């Protein structure tokens, strides 16, 4: 059975992907740690949209989680036609004051699990000559972000990784795209124990999902969600990275958040 696998589907952008794709008639396989949320969402989607909605409750930071998930899809007879690597979290503060274990867990989830899942599911997609992968990066991936140092670096990885795989796989009929949202109204800030930057502009997860699906249809390697985010991100590229780092660092320095709204990227 053809299906779309969505990681981090128990809330926020992942949940919005699940709701939208189910409404569009796609079967979904939802992954996150919180089984109770996945169970409720699956039965709601199955009832409302008459699609097949299944879940796997899994902590993707565990070393063998991606291969377990891959084997589970095979055991359930699922053909993953679309993979949405969305699960992720962040942290904020002076790098040396942050908990090392949590920083490394972030690398495990935002990078290691994403690379492993991409590797495992890309093979069968290439064999079939069709499929798509959306990797959720961030506008934070376009520049250094002091005080969100590890998080921004993980998203820079996702962006570069996806843009490169986009080119490698076009000729094989498989689309790979990085989705780069800016500030989005989700559980992200609470889950990441981060102060929500004082943005005037934020998007809903539904708007982000809509942008993603349009970008995928257009065959994009990456897409920035929202015009304001697009203009800010593209204009920063014209400025030396050291200057961007200084300005963003000043805005996000602990104790400074809330004083101004320079730190637009997330």
Ligand X SMILES: NC(=O)c1ccc[n+]([C@@H]2O[C@H](COP(=O)([O-])OP(=O)(O)OC[C@H]3O[C@@H](n4cnc5c(N)ncnc54)[C@H](OP(=O)(O)O)[C@@H]3O)[C@@H](O)[C@H]2O)c1
Exposure of 155 in the CB half-sphere (CA atoms within 13 A)? 28
Q: Which of residues 103-132 bind ligand X (CB under 6 A)?
A: 109
Q: Which is nearer to ligand X, 35 or 127 (CB)?
A: 35
11 binds ligand X (CB under 6 A): yes
Is residue 147 annotated as a catalytic residue, yes or no? no
Which of 66, 131, 146, 181 contacts ligand X by CB under 6 A?
181
Q: Write down the residue that tokens 């985010």 correspond to.
A: 229
Distance CA 29, CA 52 (A): 8
Residue 215 to residues 133, 174, 180: CA-CA distances in angstroms? 12, 14, 11
Min separation Cβ 168 and ligand X, Å: 22
Is 138 within 8 Å of 180 (Cβ atoms)?
A: yes
Total site size for ligand X, rule CB under 6 A: 30
Show contacts with ligand X in window 69-108 (CB under 6 A): 86-90
Q: Could you say which residues in the range 206-265 bind ligand X, by CB under 6 A?
A: none
Instruction: Say if residues 114 and 85 touch (Cβ distance below 8 Å).
Output: yes
- Least CB distance from residue 194 to ligand X, whole Å? 9
Q: Contact, 38 vs 50, CB < 8 A?
A: no
Which residues are near ligand X by CB under 6 A?
7-14, 32-34, 59-61, 86-90, 109, 136, 138, 181, 183-184, 186-188, 191, 266
């Amino acid at each position: 059975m053809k299906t779309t696998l969505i990681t981090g589907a128990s809330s926020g952008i992942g949940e919005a992907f699940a709701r939208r794709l189910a409404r569009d008639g796609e079967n979904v396989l939802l992954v996150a740690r919180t089984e109770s949320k996945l169970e409720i969402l699956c039965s709601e989607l199955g009832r409302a949209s008459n699609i097949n909605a299944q879940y796997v409750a899994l902590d993707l930071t565990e070393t063998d989680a991606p291969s377990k998930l891959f084997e589970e899809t095979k055991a359930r007879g699922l053909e993953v036609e679309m993979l949405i690597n969305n699960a992720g979290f962040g942290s904020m503060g002076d790098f040396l004051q942050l908990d090392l274990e949590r920083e490394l867990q972030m690398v495990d989830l935002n990078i290691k699990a994403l690379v492993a899942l991409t590797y495992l599911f890309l093979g069968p997609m290439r064999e079939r000559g069709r499929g798509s992968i959306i990797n959720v990066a961030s506008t934070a991936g376009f520049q250094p972000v002091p005080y969100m140092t590890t998080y921004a670096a993980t998203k820079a990885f996702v962006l570069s990784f996806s843009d490169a795989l986009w080119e490698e796989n076009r000729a094989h009929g498989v689309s790979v795209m990085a989705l780069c949202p800016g500030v989005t109204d989700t559980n992200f800030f609470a889950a990441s124990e981060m102060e929500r930057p004082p943005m005037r502009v934020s998007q809903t997860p539904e708007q982000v999902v809509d942008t993603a699906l349009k970008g995928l249809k257009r065959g994009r390697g990456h897409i920035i969600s929202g015009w304001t985010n697009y203009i800010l991100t593209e204009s920063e590229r014209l400025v030396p990275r050291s200057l961007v780092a200084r300005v963003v660092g000043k805005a996000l320095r602990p104790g400074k958040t809330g004083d101004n709204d320079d730190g637009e990227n997330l």
